[in-house]
Amino acid sequence: MRFRASRGSGPASPWRAGCVAAAPELDAPPHLLFPVRARRVGRVDRNGSIETAGGHIASRLGRRSVVLIGLMGAGKSTVGRRLAQRLDVPFQDTDTEIEAVSRMTIPELFAAYGEDEFRALERRIVARLAAEGPQVLATGGGAFMSEETRSVLATRAVTVWLNADLDTLMERVMRRNNRPLLKTGDPRETMRRLMETRYPVYGLADITVHSRQVKRETVAEEIVEALDRHLDPVSVAVSA
């Protein structure tokens, strides 16, 4: 429970008049004696308890997950962990789960079985994990391209696209040399083509947030605010 202090009543308040009168005896500036009232931050639930914004969102999600989508380098994993902390729900990464199940790294899976087999496994993993909400789930860049996966997420999740520009993506992904799809003669051109192909589909997500060179906490907080608006029944009714 958190409270934020704010100064008391208006200039005509009898409390203030009393403080001004008592100030000389107490040898204190009158404004330091003005009454302070507590202003509650968050929402009050039906039982009168105060919920934080994150807790209120988690309660409205029910069994749904918050699923982050976007290209490699968009920040799905790093932002996702901070978002999960903010909402006080678990965090899972589909790529991590795929590697745990297969006992192979993503590059090894691509090399051994090809992209089609990898995508089939990815679809099964995403469907299973999405049903384990409420949680925050970070997905691989190609997961949302599957119509089957989009259909599953439409009923089991709120999808959030982390939309990043080309320079931001390249600056991040080139820090590590473990991206199978970028092992080409011109990684930047490959990324540009992926953006051209995938961004129209990513645009089908429930929420879009701009991922950029700011603190991950900033992006996570923007997602919290967007979720609050998206899950607000009044906003939904107006938009309908």
Predicted TM-score (pTM) of this structure: 0.74
Is 19 within the bounds of a domain? yes
Indicate whether 11 pLDDT > 50.
no
- Shared domain check, 214 and 142: yes
As a whole number, the mean pLDDT across the chain is 81
* 197 labelled binding-site residue: no
Is 48 within the bounds of a domain? no
- Shared domain check, 219 and 107: yes
- Parallel, antiparallel, or unpaired for β 91-93 and 50-51? unpaired
- Shared domain check, 158 and 211: yes
Is 118 within the bounds of a domain? yes
- Shared domain check, 141 and 221: yes
* 167 labelled binding-site residue: no
Look at 48-57, 99-108, 122-131, 225-234 and tell me which has the smallest mean pLDDT.
48-57
* Structural domain count, the chain: 2
Domain that holds residue 19: 3-40
The domain that holds 57 is classified in CATH as 3.40.50.300
* 62 labelled binding-site residue: no
| Nearest Cα residue to 101 out of 120, 85, 115 | 120
Q: What is the pLDDT of residue 94?
A: 96
Is 46 within the bounds of a domain? no
* 52 labelled binding-site residue: no
b/e 4-33 (16+ beta carbons within 10 angstroms → b): eeeeeeeeeeeebeebeeeeeeeeeebeeb
- Shared domain check, 129 and 10: no
Q: What is the pLDDT of residue 185?
A: 72
Give the end-to-end CA distance of the chain in Å, rounded to a whole number. 34
Look at 32-41, 133-142, 145-154 and tell me which has the smallest mean pLDDT.
32-41
Is 113 within the bounds of a domain? yes
Percent of the chain with pLDDT over 70: 71
Q: What is the pLDDT of residue 21?
A: 64
* 74 labelled binding-site residue: yes
CA distances (Å), origin 3, targets 15, 36, 37, 47, 86: 21, 11, 9, 18, 18
Contact 198, 145 (CB under 8 A): yes
The more confident residue out of 149 and 30 is 149
Task: Tell me the per-residue pLDDT of 46-100, one tens digit each, with 9 for 90 and over.
Answer: 444 334 566 789 889 999 999 999 999 999 999 999 999 999 999 999 999 999 9
* 206 labelled binding-site residue: no
- Shared domain check, 88 and 57: yes
Task: Tell me the per-residue pLDDT of 178-220, one tens digit each, with 9 for 90 and over.
Answer: 676 667 778 899 999 999 999 999 999 999 999 998 899 999 9
* 119 labelled binding-site residue: yes
* 114 labelled binding-site residue: no
From CA 237, how far away is CA 228, in angstroms rounded?
14
* 39 labelled binding-site residue: no
